[in-house]
Amino acid sequence: MSRTEEWAARFPQWNDWHWQMRNRITSADGLAEWVSVPEGLRREIEECTGVFRMAVTPYFLSLADLDDPEDPITKQCIVSRRELERSPNDAPDPLNETGSAVTPHIIHRYPDRVLLLATMECGMFCRHCTRRRIVGESDVTPTARELDDELDYIRAHPEIRDVLVSGGDPLTLPTDRLETIISRLRAIPHVEIIRIGTRVPCVLPMRIDDELLGMLKKYQPLWINVQFNHDRELTPEAEAALNKMADAGIPLGNQSVLLRGINDDADTMRKLVLHLVRCRVRPYYLYQCDLTEGIAHFRTRVETGVDIIHKLQGNVSGFAVPKFVIDAPGGGGKVPIGYDYVREINDKEVVFENYEGDVYRYPQP
């Protein structure tokens, strides 16, 4: 019996997502109620939770092996002393989202789409979060009134045809509150598509219930991007949540963050993307880790990401290969960084490599 099954059998409310939210682990004492916590780890957590917020759903904790310091689940959910390290390039807001904010909760960086920060609450506070400066800050979460006023910006800008609802995690909002936001967006004639960015299927899969899906189905075309970083997160519970969303007719994409010691090799990533496509989720982006404060220990060299994608391309189904991107520091947007297959381009021909490194030529018209 897995620990998840064991705890699910012990707690009758295990599958109630509100129960999971209420019982999140936020301290060393809280953790000790669930698992045995070695003295060293207890001190480390106490030191760090004074600086950074921690919150882990019992469900996600049940996947972690706390005895293994290299465990990919533990590293994503339990605070570490390494978060207190500062690297010279760190910034509190590396993507300058404050600079591109057109209202307190709308970021307009690209011509035809905006990012709407619908809440700052999350199922779990990921240790590698880019927006860690604001997630969990209840005073940054907009009230219904404030948000409706801010939607006037979208109403007044007919060039906006795609609204990405993110945060925080919008699927932690009560369904009726989320419906208010989505229905108001849907009522704007020039908003063609609505997107939701969420980690809930990974950290709180019981939230994906019929009530939520019944609501979302009314507002198609609606896309959902999830975040899975390691194959171990694709549990039977997560698979069921993804299946339900796909069955509701919602196209699914995945955005992974490239994390040192968690998923920074081609084999780990191959397992993840192949499992995602079996769950009808299209790997969309693989992000180079941002320059956010306190996450330097997760960063890899950029070549690591390029090499992983190079090794996937040609060796797995084309649609299982995500695009590797750097979100440009300072706020330039996402830029794909790829292996350069082109050896030479001249007036007569293009000389290029295939996925196995063999050289081919294409004559220019």
- Applying CB under 6 A, the residues found at the interface with ligand SF4 are 122, 125-126, 129, 131, 135, 167-169, 199
Contact between 352 and 343 (Cβ < 8 Å): yes
Q: Least Å distance between CB 348 and ligand PLP?
A: 36
- Asked if 117 interacts with ligand PLP (CB under 6 A), we say no
In the bound state with ligand PLP, the residue whose beta carbon lies nearer, of 38 and 329, is 329
Q: Which of 4, 107, 116, 110 is nearest to 58 (CA)?
A: 4
Residues 203 and 102: their CA atoms lie apart, in Å, by 31
Contact pattern for ligand PLP over residues 333 through 362, marking x by CB under 6 A:
-x----------------------------
- Asked if 107 interacts with ligand PLP (CB under 6 A), we say yes
Residues catalogued as catalytic: 109-110, 113, 122, 126, 129, 131, 290, 327, 334
Spatial neighbors of 96 by CB under 8 A, at least 6 apart, are 330, 331
In the bound state with ligand PLP, the residue whose beta carbon lies nearer, of 164 and 262, is 164
Quote the distance between the C-alpha of residue 71 and its chain's center: 19
Q: Least Å distance between CB 198 and ligand SF4?
A: 7
- Asked if 115 interacts with ligand PLP (CB under 6 A), we say yes
Q: Least Å distance between CB 282 and ligand PLP?
A: 12
Applying CB under 6 A, which part among 7-15, 110-118, 202-210, 342-350 lies near ligand PLP? Answer: 110-118
Q: Which of 24, 105, 109, 270 binds ligand PLP (CB under 6 A)?
A: 109
Contacts (CB under 6 A) with ligand PLP, residues 135-174: 164
Contacts (CB under 6 A) with ligand PLP, residues 31-70: none
Residues 104 and 170: their CA atoms lie apart, in Å, by 16
Per partner kind, with CB cut-offs from 5 to 8 A, the member of ligand SF4, ligand PLP, none near residue 107 is ligand PLP
Q: Which of 304, 178, 284 is nearest to 227 (CA)?
A: 284
Q: Which segments of the chain does DSSP mark as H helices, in order?
A: 3-10, 17-22, 28-32, 39-49, 58-61, 72-77, 97-100, 144-155, 175-186, 200-203, 210-216, 236-247, 266-278, 302-312
- Asked if 131 interacts with ligand PLP (CB under 6 A), we say no
Note the maximum CA span of the chain: 71
Quote the distance between the C-alpha of residue 103 and its chain's center: 23
Binding site for ligand PLP (CB under 6 A): 107, 109-110, 113, 115, 164, 334
